[in-house]
Structure formats: C-alpha cells, structure tokens
Structure 1
C-alpha cells in the first residue's frame, strides 16, 4: 500500500473521529444489539413507495440487507447475480454497464442511454447506468423489483427496478467502519458517523476508498498490468424535522474515479481466414487459418455472410506485414498474430494507452414530506446530478492501434417528483407528476492507424454527439382491501418524451478526408476541412454520395400509457397468492454511433412490454421456511438493439434497431430455510425461454440487418441476447457460539448461469463465436464475530475454483473481443460498529 493511499485513509478516519463529539452532543446511549440479518421472508420494502413487509406485496421482489450483501460479496450491481437469478450484468465496448433482468435489457455504449432496468437510491433515479458510482456506499438494503415498473418508477423500467436504500441519520450517536484487503493488493476502507446535531436535526457522513486490484496482465509485456481501482466516494445526509408534521432530507453524494478501464481479450480476426491450405501458404500471412465455409460466406455475393469489403481489407493488412516501416509491420503483426488465450488474466492493449480514468460524479438531492393529516401526505423529491467521464478504451484487444478510443463527455440530469398519498386501513393511493431532464455530451476519438479499411488515408476521427431528453409524467396508483384477505390494485402513468440529438463524425486534422470520400467512395470529390462532418447522403455506389459537412440534427417525440392491474389474496397462515397484468414502455433512443452514412443516425423508437405474471409467497413453520414462486409471460414489441448494417467500404457498422415482436416466458422459485439453530440456507432459480417471433431481416428505412458475426437474413426464432435459459444461486451459512461473547461462522455461495448468446442467431444465421458458455462460481467465507454484532472478522474466497469465464463478447471493426471475469480472489475483512 503506498504512502499516499495510507495517508488518505488515516485522514478519513481522523476526520470521522473528530466529528464524533460534535455529533454526539450528549453521552451516547447504550449500544443496541443489531437485529439479525433480514431475509426475503420478513424484510421491509418500498416497492409501492411506502414501507411494507415483502410478504404483503403482490410483486416479485428480491431483497437483502446490508449484512447479507456483505456475506455474499455483493458490492454493486455487477454482483447482483449472486442474489438475483435472472439478472445479468455485462459491460459494453465503452465500459458502460448493461443490466438485463428476465431477458429485458439494452446493450448500448452511449453515456446517456436510458436503461431497461432502472436504478434508484432511496427512490431518487440514477437516470443512466454510467451514473452508478457510489451505489455500494453505506447501504441498508437493496430491493430488486422484477417486471415493468413504469406506473410508479417511470419510464426506462420495462425490465424492472433496483432500489438501493442507504443508511439514515440516527437519533443516537453511531459509527462504524469496514476494511478489507485481498489478492492483487486491492484494499477497501469505508466508514460512517451518525447522530444528532441539534434538536430536530440529525446527520450522517459516510465515505469509502478503494485502491489496487490490477489483475490483468499484458501478453507481450509481462510486467505491464491493468485493472487498478482508485476510487473515493462520500455521502452527507441531513435530516431536519422543523415541526412534527414536516420532515426534510438533504443528501449530497460525490465520487472520484481514477481506475483503469478493463481491457478486452483478443479472440481472433476473420482477416486470417483462407479457403484452403494452398491459398493460406501463398498468402504471405504467417497467421493464416483455413476455414473454407466461413471464407466462402465472406466472399460469395449470394451468401448471407457476404462482406463486400473483406478481400480488400485483408489484402491491405497482409500487405503491411512486409512494410518497410517497422511500426506499420508491427501493427499488422499484432492485428493478425496476437495469441488467443483462455486464461482470465491474459489481455492485451496498446502500450501506454490505458491507465487512469478521470471520472467524477455528484448528486444533490432533497426530499420533503408534509403530513397534511393522519392519512394524507404530500411528498416532493428533487435531484440534480452530473457524471463526468474521461478515459481511454482499447477496442481491438491487441498492441496495435486498430481502434483505440479516448472518450470524454458528461451526463447531466435534473429530476422532480410531486406526489400526494393517502393511507387508510382499507385504501392506499398515490397521485403525482414527474419531470426529468437529461443532457448528454459524448466525444469519441478513434485512432485507426492499423485498421484494415484505413488504407493509410485517414487514421484519426472524432465522433461528437450531443443529446437532450425531457420527460413529463402523470401517474396514479391505488390498492383497495376488498376483504381483510383480498386486495386489488391498479396503476396508470402517462408519459411524454421529447428528444433531440446532434451528430458530427469528422477528421479533426483534415488529412485524407477528401481523398477518402472522393476516390474511395466513387463519388464526386468533396473538400472536407478539419472538423467538418463527413457522413454521406445519397448513394455511394452510384456516385451521388455527398458529405453533410455540418452536424446532422435529429428529433423524436413520443408518448405512452403504462398501467398495472392485479390482485392478491393472503391466507390466514400468511401465504400470499397474486396475479398482475402490466404494460411498460422504454423511451426511444439516440446512440452515439460513428456513422459513414447519415441515415445510420435514425433512432430506435420506444419499446413496449406487456407482462402477465402470477405467483405466491408462502411462509411456513413460523418463518423458519419461506418458499416463493412465479410464472410470467412478456409480450415484447420493438425491442431496442444496437445492431449492425453493412457498409461497402468499412464493413459492418453500428445502428440502433427495433426488433418488431419477441417474447419471454419464465418460471422462478426462491427458498429460504432455517432448519436448525444458526443454520441459514437460501436458493433461487430462474428459467427463461425467449424468442423473436416475427420476421426480422431489415429496418424500416431499408437497411439489411446483420448479426455481430456478419450474417443477414430472417432472424425469426432467435433467442434474445444476454438471456441465459437457466440461472441460479445457492447460499448457506452456519454460525455457532464458541463462548458467551464470541461466535464462529462458515458459509459459501454458488452462482450459475447457463450458456447465452450475445447476438441474434438461428440455424441458418450462425454466430458461434458470440456464445458465452455456461459457468458456475463458488465463493466461501469463514470467520468470527462478537455475539452482540459489534465486530466481525472473516476470511473469504471468490471464484475459488479459478473458473475462467466470459461476461461479454463483441466485435469492433477488425477483431473479435471478449471480456472475462476475475480469477480467484481471496482476502481478509474486518468490520466494527460503535
């Protein structure tokens, strides 16, 4: 641990210690023994924007306390599959997080891309996934709501919502810290202090620092590592109660992230493929591989996998192998000859290119609750946030400069919600209005010196993208107890979205652009100055293509109505059965795509999910056993995907697309048991069957649709991407007293996901390279704790079988890349609460 990091941590703890007397004001009350970790049988949730026992809510919810999250090694959304079957996390090519729940998700790399699974902190939205910093800071519990949540949580929650409940200021002084140190020199230290400042005013300060953890290593440079985390985050919360009926909560959250972006792993290139051994030998390519079928698919005009640019691009790169310029020859050798490894730690990137990010996030939020009467409450919530991003991403997985991308920009959001709630013995209702304003600025430089379509004409490009989205909503929700056992519910929301976007893809130096769009595209020569936009309109092959020169401006206005109706019946023994029908929408999307043709910029329009679901929640033996189950069917319209279209010069390029009709059918089960004193067992599983059920071969504006492997045709019958058929998790922990004041514990967890595809495919349109194999990860833990829960020390191991597994597969321009999860990690943790 270096001296700077150590000094930072000592300073943080000293600050907390100095704050303690001020917060205490009076002598601290006697510490209370913490309650046992809540489980999904008895935890309190806010799925309906009011506190209820999870067993009284007619929705499928997975919830866990902070202690359970810590036990399972869950520190953020990336780890939620350990808790939530049916949930998958991956990262896009630009490291932006992607959440998928029950097959509903959006794989996109745009900073401001609205997700299909929304994330909240105390019901305050984190509008887009890149605004995920600090979610694991001082958490009280997490709630994962499955199925469309548009009526109460707004748009962009067609798949579900994740709500993090953070620690609140306390009436008496409280403090605590958590520390851990693990393999790859990763250290984490967090702490909080909380208590009264004055009569009617309480405060809480929480901070966390994370450093180290470089687990990736370069294939060609053994001493070059990547993956260090350098994060610092904090939150200050102030609760003010000026009168008995008015409560105000103010919260400021901030984070700074200087971590290394994850490097992809090279998985090969089609540029090495030849039809037979003779052609391979004659090519002059020492990395040549024979694949007669794939070569025929790439080079035969009538084939579904035909790529008109393939032979020209292959010739350019192979020719560079014998270049008199050492740098050119080295780039071609790296592009064609980087080893393909299956080891988790192996990766490759351009030397000196990756390194520290310069990302930061802040959110200022406020909430006011005014009790107008004993049953009527007025609530106002507002939040202002900004995520700044500045980092580099190597998208080819090689030491060559095939596609190295420095990115910078920001996402700014402003949210407001005003609602009136009525709570009586027989009726609970909410009416309200919301407003969201989201602005995105994203700038991507592309360094393409070794790219096969470069042809030494243009090696640097810049894609500038700006967008704005304003969303207006009106909503109402109600629950009525027809009898003490039978409750009916209904909700509705009207949403209107207005979006604008501006695109300019340019050569910032101006070098080579006129040649590229004059000779190479067989069009009328156009002089394109530095910074002018070169996407074209017209027909490339007929010679009528013209560059736009100025930015391309787009707009989209949509509205929709989301609803939910349902009923639940609670038996005298505590069991609950429920059924719901809900309809949710996700707003249309503009994506930060670097296009060669202006019509690649057209947006994907809003998607819709109609969900039919029924389930039960059954506690037995006075809470010693809990069994939950659900079945659901999603009718999915206009699913948004970041797909591919064919370009004559550049090959496959990206475009936002809509899949007309698809569906997801699923079954879920959850079991929590305490069969003996000190023993807790839990298990959850999800089965999913997804399919494209309509013809899907071309976009509405005439583009033929290709999968990531480069095949076009009708994708009817394909499974949806990132939707494993089966996922499950199992966790067990046994605690036993070893003295009057000491307990020992031993536990472990297993997480499983079956194979999944990352692009559309069917029998006639293959994509074998884009399949993620199934995998199981085993974690263990053991330690001791005080009987009163004040302190806890443990040893843990994550992925102790050292399973090498893939989390994402993609292709960008010349190479196939994949991202791998971490290898075995073992460590020591210590926590203490005062």
Structure 2
C-alpha cells in the first residue's frame, strides 16, 4: 500500500481545518472512498497505511451521528463500550472487553484518553461537550510506545480544529425535543504575521425527559458551557508554538433510575415497579444536602468545572524534529446521585474531587525520507486527587463517609521504530519503560456519628517494560497485511468505596496477538478492513466482593490471575455511485476466566455469625465462566448527497446493534437493542447556510445502559436512555 507522509506543515494545517468528509486526496473522484489523514502513530499518515486496528470519526460526523459526549462513540466504533457508571458523570471505556466498571474517580483508565496529545488520566474529566473537533481516532489494543501512558485496552485520541491561515467563522444553532437547545460558534484566522488564532465555544441547555413519580418534577436538563482558545505562532522558520486553553462548566442533571420490580424500603413501604419509561424518583435529605452544598429536595446532578492548559513546541533541528508538550489540568467534581430511584433515601450518594495533573512530554523523531523512521520520547506526570463520597444507605441513619487523598508520580521512556526492509515489507519495534508510584491516605469508611479511624497511607508502585513487535506487508498497491504482538500494562490502584481498607490491587498485564488486512477495491470505491485478535490476560482488575474479619462483606477491586479474550472485527465502506456512501462494521468477542477463585458470598454468610467476626471464607472456582461484555455489535450508515432545484440535499441514517450484557452489579441480563438515527440536511447550492432535521432513536427503542443492585432489592434498578427525540439545526459559515 502506498505510504502517505505529509511533510509540509501548511498542508497538515489545511487538512486539520477541514471537516473529515473533505479530507481526501486531490486525485480522488466522486466514487472514491475517502482516506482520512491521521496522527495515530505520532506522524501524519493515511488511515489505510496504519498497520493497526484503527477507527476514525470525522468532526462532521459527530453531529450527523448524534455524538455529543464521548459515551456516544460506542454506537459508531466496533468493539467499543462507554457508559456512565450507575447514571453518573464517571464514564468507563472498554475496548474489546478490556476495561473497568467502577464509579470512583481515583484509578487509571484501561483506555488512554487524549485531547490534542495530552493524556486525561481520570475519565471523569472527559464528560464535557465535544465541540470544534477535527476528528476522533480510536486505536484498539495495548498502547505505550507512542502515547503518554501505558494502557491495556487502547486509546481514544480527540483532535480539535487548528487555527487557519484564512479567516473563517461559523455558528450552529439546534433546538429539539424537551426544549433542548445547543449553540456553538467559532472564529479562526490570522491575528498578526506568523500568528494564527482560533476561538470556539458551545453551550447545551434543556432536554429534561424524565420526571419524578411523586412530584412530577422534570429531570434531565443539560447545562453545559465550554470555551476553547488556540494560538499557533511561527516563532522562527524552524520553531512553531501551539498554545491551547479550554474551560468547561457542567451543571447538568443526573440520570434517574427506574425500578424493575416492586421495592420494599427498610421502613416496610412497598413501591410498585415502574411501568412508565420516563419515570424515576429522588429526595435529597437535609444531612446529605448539608455536606454537598445543596438544598433539600434538589435534583440529582453535577456541578463540575475544569481547566486544561497546554503548550506544544515543535522544532526542526535539521536531522530530527523535537516536540515538547507541557500541560496542566484542573478539575472539580461535585455530583449527587440517587441510586435507589425513589424518595426513600435508600442509596443516595454525593461524590467530590479536586484533581490536578501536571505533565511534560518530550519527543525526538526522524524527519528524513529513508528506510528507518524512528521516534523516542520521555513522559512525566504528577497527579493530585483529593476526593471521596458520602452515602446515605438503607436502614443506616448516619451518613457514611469515605475520604481520601491520592498522589501519583510516573515517568516513562519510550521509542517506536519502523524499518522498510524491502519495498513491500515494513518492520515495527516499540519499547517502553515506566516507573510509577501511587499513594493514598485515608481513614477508611466511617459513619458520621462515629469517630473516624486513624489515617493510614497505602502505597503501590509499578516498574514495567512493555512493547510492540509488528510487521506490515503490502500485498499489492491497495492491500496491506499486518501482524502485531504487543504487551501492555495498566496501573494498580486502590478501592475507595464501601471498604474499611484501601489495600492496593496489582497492575494488570495483557499480551495481545493481532493480525489484519486493510484493502481497497474497484478503483478505490470499496474498502474492506478486517482483524482478528487473541488476548492473554494476567491479573485482570475486576469489581468483586471480599470479606473483612471485622466489617464483613465489602466491595473491592481485585485481580483475576488468568483470563483470555479473542475476537474479530470487520469494517466495510462502499461508494457505488456518486453521492451514495455505505459503511458497515461487525465485531465479535468472547472471553473466559482461566484461573479465578472468588468469594461465595451466600456460603460465607451462612458459615459465620450474623454480626461477625467473619473468620470462615468460602471460595468458588469460576474458571471457565464467561467475561461480562456484549459478544457482538453491528453498525453502519447509509448517506446520499444530491442536487435538485438549486438545492444541495443530504439524507443519512445510521444504526447500531448491541448484544445483551450480563450485569455483575445486578446479577441480571441487560437486553440487546437496536438504535437507529436519521438526518436530513439541505440548503441552496453555493450558499453559506444549511438547515437540518435529525431524529435520534428513530423507532423509540427502550434500552438500558447499566443496572444497579445496591439498594438490596431482589429486583435491580436500571438507568434507561431517552426515547425518540427530534431536533432542527441551522448552520452558517462566513
């Protein structure tokens, strides 16, 4: 497959400024499948020339496919799952079944999240609006030889629009169901000789689609605002400085839970199961309102804000390019959730966090055409996370409090090399060494009407060598075969919920074997990419239940000694005639525990006194048990562009099927579902404005994100998603 490297910085900036749909080779015709230029491997390449499983979502597609938060990416990317744990603002990412399901905000993600090459180690900081985006690149499999931190699952790279040399401006307004509206705007251009700037902002408001079963009060309003500024300064002919600053505020409502069965409270009151889709319940108590800074009766929701600052300096040294990325992140979390979904105050929780992250990355990379392309780098990160949560739990009159202070310091040295052995064969070798120290200080979990225990400090460290060995072989000018073996490691950490002890769990290790083909057919009008993979998993981190001798049953994160995952993905694109584009994707995965003895909670409870001490722990062998993730998902889109009566018209529909999922939290099955969306856009040919109509969840499908068994009910609560919503959109460019 022909290699595409863009060496001219002006060409790169021009491509970055265009919507993804416009980023095509100038030689292509109207029936050519577009080849987006990506930076997944820290250099500009055509996406078809990257020997790895990679999906790209262009900025133009975000609105068309109804992607407004990172969670929505799961509907367009194969084998990707993103959900907000238990209806809150803490998203968890899983790629090919590799990922966590936890609601605390102190542990590293198994999937690396990057915004303009800056790592976001805490996923709670990614819940702001996606706006002014050039593209999103999703890499599947362990990462570490190219990116800031080690991950076992993969990486999600969010690339924002860069400043443009020519003056550009635009504004888009959207209004839809439940009085939801969104307004975003940008202005970009030259400020002075050698200095380019871009300013973008967005606000999303309204959309309350749920209501309280007792009071009729609405729930679900968005209240998000964000602004980003970027400057690009050509300091000299060989030195460029890129500065970026983003500030966001999120005061949105939370998601209400539904009762899947009759629920009897600790006081003996039975609340019938919910039959209405949009129904929920909550009631913030005086004591929880006091510690959260809210008022009695306030709705579940967030009061979060974050600031991201970064400075990227690139210098052409003649023999190599030097890149420095300095970044600072500050994020404050304040979030109240009602997990029982009733006014009974049986499982209400308030989270708080103050997060500060300082990072520095240096990279040196070859810039000459030749057989050997190399890159070496150094990444340093220092994190401070002061947080905790208060819980008001069933039959316990006093609030339960778990505070903690966590500090993380890490340094990584990495290199990635590719050698063109022959005209068709390319060999890839990447290595990384990382050392990390984590410490957490906490008195543990205690009731506010009791004296907290003495503070204890727990620590864990990681010293690991990881890497990647791969080959890329051009079967023809239009077909690339690749094979990779990679080892990834995810940091250990601490359980900070429902536990009297924060003893650390170990890092998890994954060796991934993958092979695939990327190919274009029929004069580049058809594209077929496929891959198969096998993961050898050690010390997989899972949520489970352990027993403490004095406290009894406690929720903990623990390590599974051995497990495995295998699967495959297929992506297809076709432009059979001018204006018609079809894309399809199909993915499958299967996983099992190979060695895992977990606590048999029923037998252990029966073998010990009701109030302890719990000295007899009985285990059950879970080897051969399937891992809890959807086995299959299928998705795609069909779009048609045409002209008629002086108008440009575009009709598009996209869809996604997700297999059923076993919820370990609720010990029940979350059913499979289909989700369909549709969009129609039109405007006068050559005009600077467009109007559009979009429908999300076209067939009004009921589907759930997560289930929750914390309220002690025999039937769990669930976090439903909105039904059909409609929106109209007006866009203008200047």
The two structures have a TM-score, normalised by structure 1, of 0.78
Deviations 1:347-391 (A, max 9, x none): 221261424532100011010000000x41011001100110112
Of the candidates 410, 424, 442, which is equivalent to residue 368 of structure 2?
A: 424
1 or 2, which has the higher helix percentage? 1
Match of 1:341?
Answer: 274
Aligned length: 681
How much has 1:219 moved relative to structure 2?
2.0
- Assess if the C-alpha contact under 8 Å between 1:106 and 1:115 holds in 2: yes
**Is 1:160 the equivalent of 2:158?**
no
Of the candidates 658, 666, 674, which is equivalent to residue 753 of structure 1?
A: 658
- Assess if the C-alpha contact under 8 Å between 2:21 and 2:34 holds in 1: no
How much has 1:481 moved relative to structure 2?
0.8
**Is 1:580 the equivalent of 2:484?**
yes
Of the candidates 471, 488, 494, which is equivalent to residue 410 of structure 2?
A: 471
Q: Structure 1 residues 97, 35: CA separation in 2 closer, same or farther (over 3 Å shift)?
A: closer
- Assess if the C-alpha contact under 8 Å between 1:389 and 1:407 holds in 2: yes
SS at structure 2 position matched to 1:164? strand
Match of 1:290?
Answer: none
Deviations 1:725-755 (A, max 9, x none): 1001110011111144x21121111111011
- Assess if the C-alpha contact under 8 Å between 1:37 and 1:68 holds in 2: no
Q: Structure 1 residues 574, 350: CA separation in 2 closer, same or farther (over 3 Å shift)?
A: same
- Assess if the C-alpha contact under 8 Å between 2:339 and 2:708 holds in 1: no
Match of 2:528?
Answer: 627
Match of 2:10?
Answer: none
How much has 1:165 moved relative to structure 2?
0.9
Of the candidates 43, 47, 54, which is equivalent to residue 54 of structure 1?
A: 47
Deviations 1:799-826 (A, max 9, x none): 1211111111122252432211111111
Equivalent residues in 2 for 1:129-208 (5 A)? 129-134=123-128, 136-208=130-202
Equivalent residues in 2 for 1:345-356 (5 A)? 345-350=278-283, 352-356=297-301
Deviations 1:672-703 (A, max 9, x none): 1001111010001101011111132259xxx9
Match of 1:359?
Answer: 304
Which ranges of structure 2 fall in alignment gaps of 5 or more residues? Answer: 1-13, 25-32, 285-296, 606-616
- Assess if the C-alpha contact under 8 Å between 2:430 and 2:467 holds in 1: yes
Match of 1:825?
Answer: 725
- Assess if the C-alpha contact under 8 Å between 1:111 and 1:411 holds in 2: no
Q: Structure 1 residues 494, 346: CA separation in 2 closer, same or farther (over 3 Å shift)?
A: same
Q: Structure 1 residues 210, 810: CA separation in 2 closer, same or farther (over 3 Å shift)?
A: same
Match of 1:717?
Answer: 624
Distance across 2 between alignment mates of 1:218 and 1:652: 33
1 or 2, which has the higher strand percentage? 2
How much has 1:205 moved relative to structure 2?
0.2
Distance across 2 between alignment mates of 1:593 and 1:160: 26
How much has 1:594 moved relative to structure 2?
3.3
SS at structure 1 position matched to 2:709? strand
Of the candidates 667, 690, 698, which is equivalent to residue 591 of structure 2?
A: 690
Equivalent residues in 2 for 1:798-817 (5 A)? 798-815=696-713, 816-817=716-717
Equivalent residues in 2 for 1:409-448 (5 A)? 409-425=353-369, 426-448=371-393
How much has 1:86 moved relative to structure 2?
0.7
Distance across 1 between alignment mates of 2:505 and 2:448: 32
Distance across 1 between alignment mates of 2:242 and 2:261: 53
- Assess if the C-alpha contact under 8 Å between 1:95 and 1:262 holds in 2: no
- Assess if the C-alpha contact under 8 Å between 1:232 and 1:256 holds in 2: yes
How much has 1:592 moved relative to structure 2?
1.9
Q: CA RMSD in A?
A: 2.4
Distance across 1 between alignment mates of 2:239 and 2:457: 46
- Assess if the C-alpha contact under 8 Å between 1:114 and 1:156 holds in 2: no
**Is 1:567 the equivalent of 2:567?**
no
Match of 1:398?
Answer: 342
Distance across 2 between alignment mates of 1:817 and 1:442: 26
Match of 1:726?
Answer: 632
SS at structure 2 position matched to 1:152? coil
SS at structure 2 position matched to 1:170? coil
SS at structure 2 position matched to 1:150? coil
Deviations 1:100-142 (A, max 9, x none): 1110111121223211111111111112111114461100111
Deviations 1:497-542 (A, max 9, x none): 10000122465753xx3xxxxxxxxxxxxxx3xxx22xxxxxxxxx
Distance across 2 between alignment mates of 1:446 and 1:789: 56
Q: Which moved more, 1:554-563 or 1:91-100?
A: 91-100
Distance across 2 between alignment mates of 1:417 and 1:737: 49
Distance across 2 between alignment mates of 1:130 and 1:372: 38
Match of 1:554?
Answer: 458
Equivalent residues in 2 for 1:31-42 (5 A)? 36-38=21-23, 41-42=34-35
Q: Structure 1 residues 711, 165: CA separation in 2 closer, same or farther (over 3 Å shift)?
A: farther
- Assess if the C-alpha contact under 8 Å between 1:626 and 1:673 holds in 2: yes
Equivalent residues in 2 for 1:409-558 (5 A)? 409-425=353-369, 426-448=371-393, 451-452=394-395, 454=396, 458-505=397-444, 509-510=448-449, 513=450, 528=451, 532-533=452-453, 550-558=454-462
How much has 1:407 moved relative to structure 2?
2.1
Distance across 1 between alignment mates of 2:488 and 2:579: 42
- Assess if the C-alpha contact under 8 Å between 2:139 and 2:156 holds in 1: yes
SS at structure 2 position matched to 1:750? strand
SS at structure 1 position matched to 2:62? helix
- Assess if the C-alpha contact under 8 Å between 2:180 and 2:205 holds in 1: yes
Match of 1:380?
Answer: 324
Deviations 1:398-419 (A, max 9, x none): 1111122222221111111011
SS at structure 1 position matched to 2:597? coil
Equivalent residues in 2 for 1:182-331 (5 A)? 182-221=176-215, 223-268=216-261, 320-321=267-268
- Assess if the C-alpha contact under 8 Å between 1:102 and 1:688 holds in 2: yes
Q: Structure 1 residues 680, 504: CA separation in 2 closer, same or farther (over 3 Å shift)?
A: same
Distance across 2 between alignment mates of 1:87 and 1:775: 15
Distance across 1 between alignment mates of 2:113 and 2:129: 9
**Is 1:407 the equivalent of 2:351?**
yes
Q: Structure 1 residues 462, 239: CA separation in 2 closer, same or farther (over 3 Å shift)?
A: same
Match of 2:555?
Answer: 654
SS at structure 2 position matched to 1:676? coil
Distance across 2 between alignment mates of 1:34 and 1:664: 36
Of the candidates 64, 67, 70, which is equivalent to residue 60 of structure 2?
A: 67
Q: Structure 1 residues 789, 508: CA separation in 2 closer, same or farther (over 3 Å shift)?
A: farther
The two structures have a TM-score, normalised by structure 2, of 0.89
SS at structure 2 position matched to 1:693? strand
Which ranges of structure 1 fall in alignment gaps of 5 or more residues? Answer: 1-28, 273-286, 288-316, 322-332, 514-527, 534-549, 705-709, 761-766
Match of 2:540?
Answer: 639
SS at structure 1 position matched to 2:419? strand
